[in-house]
Amino acid sequence: MSNKVYFAPARPEKWRYDDSMPGKLERLLRAAGLSHYFSPKEWVAVKTHFGSDGAHRVVRPVFLRKVVEGLRQTGAQPFVTDTVRLKGLDYLEVANRNGINHLSVGAPVVIADGLYGNDNIMVKAGEILGEIAVASLIYDVPGMVVCSHVKGHINAGYAGAIKNIAMGGVSASHRNCGWKCGRGAMHTIGTGDLIWDSEKCELCYQCAEVCPLNAIVFDEGDELAWDGNTCWRCGRCVRVCQAEAINLPGDDERFLRSLAEAARAVLSTFESKKVLYVNFLTEIQPECDCMPMADVPVIQDKGILVSDDIVAIEKASIDILRRSEPLPESAAAGENLDPGGDILFGLNKKNYMIQVEEAERLGLGTSDYELVAL
Ligand code: SF4
Ligand code: SF4
Domains of the chain (ranges, CATH numbers): 4-184+251-373 (3.40.50), 191-247 (3.30.70.20)
Tell me, using a 6 A CB cutoff, whether residue 236 lines ligand 2: yes
Compute CA distances 333 → 282, 297, 347, whole Å: 18, 11, 10
CB 306 within 8 A of CB 29: yes
- Per the document, the length of the chain is 374
Q: How far is the CA of 184 from the centre of ligand 2 (A)?
A: 10
- Going by their DSSP bridges, the two strands 246-247 and 130-135 should be labelled as unpaired
Tell me, using a 6 A CB cutoff, whether residue 107 lines ligand 1: no
Q: What gap in Å lies between CA 85 and CA 229, rounded to an integer?
A: 17
Closest CA to 149 of 5, 350, 301, 3: 301
Number of H helices, E strands in the chain: 13, 16
Q: How far is the CA of 194 from the centre of ligand 2 (A)?
A: 9
Q: How far is the CA of 206 from the centre of ligand 1 (A)?
A: 6
Tell me, using a 6 A CB cutoff, whether residue 43 lines ligand 1: no
Tell me, using a 6 A CB cutoff, whether residue 89 lines ligand 1: no
Closest CA to 180 of 170, 191, 169: 191
Q: What is the pLDDT along the chain (374 residues), one digit of tens a residue?
A: 469 999 999 999 999 999 999 999 999 999 999 999 999 999 999 999 999 999 999 999 999 999 999 999 999 999 999 999 999 999 999 999 999 999 999 999 999 999 999 999 999 999 999 999 999 999 999 999 999 999 999 889 999 999 999 999 999 999 999 999 999 999 999 999 999 999 999 999 999 999 999 999 999 889 999 999 999 999 999 999 999 999 999 999 999 999 999 999 999 999 999 999 999 999 999 988 988 889 999 999 999 999 999 999 999 999 999 988 899 999 998 777 766 679 999 898 899 999 999 999 999 999 999 999 99
CB 262 within 8 A of CB 129: yes
Atom of ligand 1 nearest to the CA of 202: 3
Q: CA-based Rg of the chain, rounded to a whole angstrom?
A: 20
Mutate to test the pocket of ligand 1, among 207, 210, 222 (most ligand atoms within 8 A of CB): 207
Tell me, using a 6 A CB cutoff, whether residue 238 lines ligand 1: no
Q: How far is the CA of 326 from the centre of ligand 2 (A)?
A: 32
Sequence-ordered list of residues with C-beta below 8 angstroms from that of 73, at least 6 positions apart, any chain: 34
Tell me, using a 6 A CB cutoff, whether residue 205 lines ligand 1: yes
CB 353 within 8 A of CB 7: no
**Separation of first and last alpha carbons in the chain:** 15
Mutate to test the pocket of ligand 2, among 85, 193, 213 (most ligand atoms within 8 A of CB): 213
- What stretches of 154-301 adopt beta strand conformation (E)? 157-159, 195-196, 216-219, 223-226, 246-247, 275-281
Any idea what DSSP says for residue 338? P
- Bridge partners (DSSP) of residue 55 are 52
CB 230 within 8 A of CB 215: yes
Q: How many CB atoms lie within 10 A of CB 191?
A: 9
Tell me, using a 6 A CB cutoff, whether residue 208 lines ligand 2: no
